[in-house]
Copies of this chain bind each other. A is one copy, B any other.
Amino acid sequence: MKNAGLLDGLIQALRRLPGVGPKSAQRYAYHLLQHDREGARHLSEALAGALAGLRRCQRCNTFSDQAICETCASTRRDPSLLCVVETPSDQLMVEQTLAFQGLYYVLMGRLSPLDGVGPREIGLEQLLARASDGVVTEVILATNFTQEGEATAHYLGELLRARGLAVTRLARGVPMGSELEYVDASTIAQAMRDRR
């Protein structure tokens, strides 16, 4: 194996993927080289293409190959509603509900002081400027219901309210289709407080 400089290089490069250790990186490399060279070529080109062509949407901060992404450019959406999510996947999940017709702002992260992710790292200035465009009247905070997501929502909420915006948060409660017996106590407690 000592001579396989190119192979080792590929395995090391695959280890840069999050959560991929040496064994998985080896498995990926062998698979691509032996069984899916077309897939390897495809991946190499997709990476180069994305690096060269993808930028951030100037309005919502998500990845886009245009200056303004298609969602932000749409005239069929309600520009007075701005939904703040952590990641493009979260945005996709909200879109799939078909329950929201406003616009988005994608933080591309969450506040996480222990990991060195502060207000600057999540582009807070840009969000405040976006929300203060005079058209947005309500900001819906749809960050995750994790500790960091909640802290982010709390922090953003204070700043946005200080600018005179209506700020709401996705409702917490018992998930659809679940049996109370198997729901954790803090969720039930929250659902009890927010009963309607």
Residues of B within 8 A of A2 (CB): 70-71
Residues of B within 8 A of A69 (CB): 3-4
Could you tell me if A33 and B50 are in contact, using CB atoms closer than 8 angstroms? yes
Answer whether A44 and B51 are a contact pair too, CB < 8 Å, given A31-B18, A65-B3.
yes
Tell which of A9-17, A139-147, A150-158, A182-190 binds the partner.
A9-17
Could you tell me if A46 and B9 are in contact, using CB atoms closer than 8 angstroms? yes
Give CA–CA (A31, B50) in the complex, Å: 13
Copies of this chain, whole number: 2
**Chain A, interface size: which category?**
35 or more
Could you tell me if A18 and B13 are in contact, using CB atoms closer than 8 angstroms? no
Answer whether A1 and B91 are a contact pair too, CB < 8 Å, given A16-B36, A63-B7.
yes
Between-chain CB contacts (< 8 Å), 5 pairs: A1-B91, A3-B65, A3-B70, A10-B47, A40-B50
